[in-house]
Chain A
Amino acid sequence: MKNNEIKGLNASVDLMDANSEQEMNEMFEELSSREEFFCLGDGCSGKVCGLN
């Protein structure tokens, strides 16, 4: 198959760097300490439903 294009639109959790559950936990700990990982949706507080 010819080399079709794949273009990344964002960052992702790179599972190839983690071969065991422990390595995955360590990787995730490191990732979650980075500011950019806090793009975690709206976190809410009623903003999803915004009841009135």
Chain B
Amino acid sequence: MNTSKFNIFIPTKQSGKTIMVNGCTGAFDIADENICVLLKNAEQNPSILDEIEEDNRSILERRGYITNRSKEEEEKTRKVILSGLKKINLKSLTLTFIPTYNCNFRCSYCFEKNIQEKGAEWMNPVITKETVDITYQYLKDQLDNGKSLTSIILFGGEPLLKNNKEIVEYIITGAQQLNVPVSAVTNGYDLLSYKDLIGKNKLSSLQITIDGPEDIHNSRRYLAGKQGTLKKIRDNINAIIDMDIELIVRSNVNKLNIDSIGELIDMYRTEGWLNKSNFHYYFKSTHKCYEKEEDSISDVELIDKLKDYFTGSNVFNYSTIYQSISKSVSDMINKKGYAPFKSGYCGANNGMYTVDPYGDVYTCWDVIGNKDLAVGSVDYENRTIILNDKLNQWLDRRIDNMNECSECKYALFCGGGCTAHANVTTGDFNMPYCQDYIQIFNEVVMGLYDDYDKQIG
């Protein structure tokens, strides 16, 4: 009998108790510290496992913390679990339409500057009804083959430019026929032109970005002519907030606006948005790989700042990365379900497709417009979508294909990190992009358990 190579030990605030997690079986347990100390010591000296009382040994074996399997067999087991997850995840599709690459904003930190550099002539085309029709036909064929479609997202450029209403309405009508909700990631500037398209079976969810109080927001998110945008966005939100729609306000944060977070939350309060059940907001550090080194902050630095405004594990709800782990782990604990393992970092590694105005198909929003990374295209002659071999570099980006992940106890939780960011920083799709994942995972699990422990007394 040996200890598992995937045992994780996370301290708690409760004296003498440690959270044990197994990165292969997905077990989460709370245990007396004595047991954890013994398990840690047994990594060097397995014979001391005999000291564990029989009942506990049985629990530890069943939960995967001790095992008769060799390290190689454990690794093989993790591969089987990963393959099973992959099979499930590939059944679920997500579709994004890029109605246009054009955008009326010129945000200072925009990650799509490579698209802007292509010029107006390249950015201006709008997706055609024919491209939308063929995409929907392809989707229907996939659904007939047993796949499911969870959502349709509009992205850009700016997907809700007032001049593009006709094609957006056309996309929404198609989605209604598939009975799939449509959401949009929009700057919110031309929103009132779309008021009649907002509702439960139409545009049911919007993500709008506000980066701070008026002076800060306007210094970062301005029109092509440099005019400020906050006042109009704020008025637009007020005009639709009582409609049947989920409104999510995101703030992209770096060193230049981190100190204005409190003032921004005050603005949400003053506007009365915090009393609305359909209003949600969160913060995200700007992506380091596209950002000037001197301006960037990490998600850990961001959460430390957010702790000035939110207490306990509630703070996790206001940062994307933390919220993603927190929601899945708390759902797991509440439902006594299985661990939130991932077969890949995100939808781009599973069944997410993005169709642009040129009929090119991409996985991830980060790489749209970079034709070299297109994973397929619309075949107008045969009225279908043809996917190419480049899709495999996204689908095959699994932790068992990355040497650096094979020894990592957290790999099934993390999924290997963002594919696009790994490629930007290392030039290699198959390198992990860990950032502070382990620190964040441990902090979230510790924080959630602390609250859970208080609840159960």
Contact = CB atoms under 8 A, between A and B. Distances in A.
Contacts of B365: 46, 49, 51
Interface in A17-52: 21, 24-25, 28-29, 31-32, 36-52
Interface in B53-102: 53, 55-56, 59-64, 67, 69, 76-77, 80-81, 84-85, 87-89, 92, 94, 96
Interface size class of A (residues with CB under 8 A): 35 or more
A41 B340 contact: yes
A24 to B, nearest CB: 5
Interface stretch (B113-121, B132-140, B148-156): B148-156
Could you tell me the dominant secondary structure of chain A's interface residues?
A: loop
B168 interface: no
Interface size class of B (residues with CB under 8 A): 35 or more
Contact of A13 (B34, B35, B81, B337): B81
B80 A25 contact: yes
B217 interface: no
B31 A15 contact: no
Contacts of B76: 21
Contacts of A10: 26-28, 332-333, 336-339
B293 to A, nearest CB: 20
B366 interface: yes
A52 B29 contact: no
A12 B342 contact: no
B340 A11 contact: no
A29 B87 CA distance: 10
Contacts of A32: 84-85, 87-88
Contact of B31 (A4, A14, A24, A45): A4
A40 B340 contact: yes
19 contacts: A4-B31, A5-B30, A5-B32, A6-B60, A7-B30, A7-B31, A12-B63, A15-B25, A15-B69, A39-B328, A39-B338, A40-B89, A41-B324, A43-B94, A45-B94, A45-B96, A49-B284, A50-B320, A51-B365
Interface of B: 19-20, 22, 24-32, 34-35, 38, 51-53, 55-56, 59-64, 67, 69, 76-77, 80-81, 84-85, 87-89, 92, 94, 96, 111, 150-151, 153, 155, 185, 187, 207, 209, 250, 252, 284, 287, 320-321, 324, 327-328, 331-333, 335-343, 345-348, 350, 352, 365-366, 415, 418, 449, 452
